[in-house]
Structure 1
Amino acid sequence: MLLVAGLWHLRNMGKVSELYRQRAEEGRIKPDPAQQSVLPELDRVLADMEAAPAPAATKPRSAWRALLGVGNPAPEPAPPVKGLYLWGGVGRGKSMLMDLMADAAPDQSSRRVHFHEFMQEIQAGLEQARKRGDQDAVRPVAMEVARTTRLLCFDEMQITDIADAMIVGRLFQVLFEQGVVIVTTSNRVPEDLYKHGLNRQLFLPFIDLIRQRMQVVCLDSEVDHRQGRQGGGQVWFSPANADARASMDAIWSELTQGSEVQPLELTVKGRKVEIPAFAGRIGRAGFWDLCGKPLGPADYLALAQAVDVLLIDGIPRLSMTNYNEAKRFVTLIDALYEAEVRLIASAADEPEQLYNEGEGSFEFERTASRLREMQDATWGAA
């Protein structure tokens, strides 16, 4: 499966640290000592992959020569290239560094994908493998990924779904066996993944696998680079009262400019996902339209691909009383953020105050930070 080593010279590997320096000089990145401290690890992954030898071709031995122990012995396997697990608080620049990593790697064999999206693809592949009657459904799906990918860059590894938790260990095991190198970001140290999850003891070997095959590095910065950015026109209205509604109506009228408005219905794995008002890739829905129904990552990914701008009315305070809806809202914002959808919303409070206590509040810190970043006037322009 491994590609010929010469492929890795096509773009001269484009060291991540060099890309970082260039973009800092261009004013596209604000240099941060904590970010700079992890650049050598990102460079190390690419350098190790470049140095890793291509599989040696061996001439098959006859049965007699094999029995006598002569001929071409199997070559010693090269030590595996260690990937990287980069974790730290929200807004510290992990996703930006992941983008640099993907830009520095050769296009022919690298892929950068959000973890939610990737796991949806895997689950779809598993469904097909089970229909074929494959006893080990994970292996053929993982082999197909490995066939075209040597470097897999995940953003935002989170494991909260038991279905993902039960297959991710076997999935990564096969990918590693096939020489796939994985680099991922996360808000949590590996030991906190799937924390308090159902049957978590079955998940623990995956944590050991991460420690064995990936270098775990903390991006320890005190600066949240998503805060303090210059905002443009107001796109977040709180509290969600009559004034907020009037402002949202005015923006909707300005954006649609008299276009015909009608509902948009998407079909995802047999489920119906509806945006009540839609015109020219601009959608509008209430919080309960999107989060009050049993929708999941695949539904929100499809929604994010269908719109360039989304207006959400009436985001309430979130807590244990509406925990399921809050989880869906987090997944929705992840999908919108990854697709760079322009978000305009009315809510009960500012993002940081929507969900600040109880189970789920830790995970919501990242969502609040993303909601704040998405208010910037240049959001999605790049």
Structure 2
Amino acid sequence: YRNGLQRARFLPAIDAIKQHCDVMNVDAGIDYRLRTLTQAHLWLSPLNAETQQQMDKLWLALAGAKREQMPTLEINHRPLPTLGVENQTLAASFATLCVDARSQHDYIALSRLFHTVILFDVPVMTGLMESEARRFIALVDEFYERHVKLVVSAAVPLYEIYQGERLKFEFQRCLSRLQEMQSEEYLKREHLAG
């Protein structure tokens, strides 16, 4: 793929495949995951008092308690401050999960521990936030693979969240996954904790 790790070293293999195989394009330009989705309004924007109120209502409905305590978890021997933890539901800020230095291993651990994550205050990601955008993509990938339900409060609607250029290709897949993660079909999937 474009901008892939060590892409230049793999290009000869692509040429060999083209030379020795019949290459067929099966991309009709349609993301079939997007065709039949029913929105569940799990991406809330803009960041204002109304959105905050909706997030608090969702927390109460999912966790069964108000967010009164904000425990610090230990994930991979490092502290992770939260906005709330209850009934396998985590409330955390974008700053904690994507601005602070986190690894994919942290997201794997979180995806095993929590069936639902409520992520607060996702900003517009510009070209100056490539590291944060990469971490956000990794977070979404891990949550998607383990069927973690994700509720987000964000500065802007979903398809406006990334405004950089460098990760445009990678972010397209991330956006597609985020869209699918709001579908009834996805929400019915059983959490894969193990």
Is TM (by shorter chain) over 0.5?
yes
The residue number in structure 1 matching 2:184 is 377
Give the conservation status (yes or no) of the 8 Å contact 1:352–1:365.
Answer: no
Amino acid at match of 1:244: T
Distance in 2 (alpha carbons) for counterparts of 1:350 and 1:255: 23
Give the conservation status (yes or no) of the 8 Å contact 1:273–1:299.
Answer: no
Give the conservation status (yes or no) of the 8 Å contact 2:37–2:180.
Answer: no
Is the aligned partner of 1:244 residue 2:55? no
Distance in 2 (alpha carbons) for counterparts of 1:264 and 1:219: 47
Is the aligned partner of 1:223 residue 2:34? no
The residue number in structure 2 matching 1:32 is none
The residue number in structure 2 matching 1:316 is 123
What are the residue-to-residue correspondences of 1:181-192 with 2, within 5 Å? 188=1, 192=3
1:16-63 per-position Cα deviation (integer Å, ceiling 9, x unaligned): xxxxxxxxxxxxxxxxxxxxxxxxxxxxxxxxxxxxxxxxxxxxxxxx
**How many percent of aligned residue pairs carry the same amino acid?**
28
What are the residue-to-residue correspondences of 1:103-114 with 2, within 5 Å? none
How far off is 1:322 after superposition?
1.8
Amino acid at match of 1:283: L
Distance in 1 (alpha carbons) for counterparts of 2:25 and 2:130: 29
Distance in 2 (alpha carbons) for counterparts of 1:232 and 1:362: 24
Distance in 1 (alpha carbons) for counterparts of 2:25 and 2:140: 24
Give the conservation status (yes or no) of the 8 Å contact 1:317–1:349.
Answer: yes
Distance in 2 (alpha carbons) for counterparts of 1:272 and 1:208: 45
Distance in 2 (alpha carbons) for counterparts of 1:212 and 1:271: 46
Give the conservation status (yes or no) of the 8 Å contact 1:308–1:342.
Answer: yes
Distance in 2 (alpha carbons) for counterparts of 1:204 and 1:363: 18
Consecutive unaligned residues of structure 2, counting only runs of 5 or more, are 190-194
The residue number in structure 1 matching 2:88 is 281
Give the conservation status (yes or no) of the 8 Å contact 2:72–2:79.
Answer: no
Q: TM-score, normalised by structure 1?
A: 0.44
Is the aligned partner of 1:193 residue 2:8? no
Distance in 2 (alpha carbons) for counterparts of 1:356 and 1:339: 27
Q: 1:266 to 1:362 in 2, by over 3 A?
A: same
Higher alpha-carbon Rg: 1
Give the conservation status (yes or no) of the 8 Å contact 1:261–1:279.
Answer: no
SS at match of 2:71: strand
Give the conservation status (yes or no) of the 8 Å contact 2:127–2:163.
Answer: no
| Partner residue of 1:353 out of 153, 160, 171 | 160
Q: TM-score, normalised by structure 2?
A: 0.82
Amino acid at match of 1:322: M
How far off is 1:357 after superposition?
4.1
The residue number in structure 2 matching 1:306 is 113
Q: 1:273 to 1:208 in 2, by over 3 A?
A: farther
How far off is 1:291 after superposition?
0.6
1:267-314 per-position Cα deviation (integer Å, ceiling 9, x unaligned): 32x433443311111000111111111111111111111110010111
How far off is 1:258 after superposition?
2.5
Distance in 1 (alpha carbons) for counterparts of 2:16 and 2:97: 40
Give the conservation status (yes or no) of the 8 Å contact 1:262–1:279.
Answer: no
SS at match of 1:378: helix
How far off is 1:233 after superposition?
3.8
| Partner residue of 2:73 out of 248, 258, 265 | 265
Q: 1:222 to 1:373 in 2, by over 3 A?
A: same
Q: 1:210 to 1:297 in 2, by over 3 A?
A: farther
Tell me the C-alpha RMSD between the 2 structures. 2.7
Distance in 2 (alpha carbons) for counterparts of 1:275 and 1:207: 44
Amino acid at match of 2:181: M
